Amino acid sequence: MREGTLEGGRTLTVVDEAAVIARVRSGEPEAYAVLVRAYTQVALRAAVACGAGSDAEDVVQSAFIKAYQSLGRFRDGSSFRPWLLRIVANETRNTVRSAVRMRALAGREAMLLGAAEPLIPDSADPAAAAVAEERRGLLLAALDELGEEQRQVVVHRYLLELDEMETAEALGWPRGTVKSRLNRALKKLGRLLPDGPEGGDEHG
């Protein structure tokens, strides 16, 4: 399964997570650093996607602290990543709730997409690079037209590459809600993007 990556490229599996969490619970708090190293990058991307902006690092630090304090309530056998990302999303909402809604939405999405998409090689055709940049701009503008819930489900499902169940856990929604909101979001994106299919994609 897809999880965080440890030093040396080794993938952190659910079994590894369970062992690490068990060590922390048994009195080895330093073991928690394994989870922090494995999931910091995806947590930062999630914070940016949820609107943390320049506060993303502070949000992630706070989320890791709260996750550590809540390990006693973590359900054995569950995946740590979506559980953590739900805490990140909650922390982001708490951070920005009292502030004026950020106007640089496209800039936040550009940061996210820049981390999620491969860089165009220096040797690439300049015309192709220009087309890719134009398509990115169109996608950012289209995402800006979605409602908050639709934007969040697209970001988590595709840009953060969570599967359907992980998206449901991260957003705190029933799985059926993820399906219906994603379906509506994809339909709207299909209408907004110039080369999108008429009426959107019928994903269920």
CATH code of the domain containing 81: 1.10.1740.10
**pLDDT tens, 57-81?**
999 999 999 999 999 899 888 889 9
**pLDDT tens, 134-151?**
776 777 778 888 888 988
Residue 79 lies in a domain: yes
Together in a domain, 77 and 140: no
pTM: 0.63
* 143/150 Cα distance (integer angstroms): 9
Count the domains in the chain. 2
CA angle (3 as vertex; 109, 112 as ends), nearest 5: 10
Together in a domain, 63 and 135: no
Rg, C-alpha atoms of the chain: 18
- Give the C-alpha distances (Å, rounded to integers) separating 95 from 1, 90, 115, 150, 196: 32, 9, 22, 21, 35
Together in a domain, 137 and 168: yes
* 89/107 Cα distance (integer angstroms): 19
**pLDDT tens, 6-19?**
544 445 554 488 89
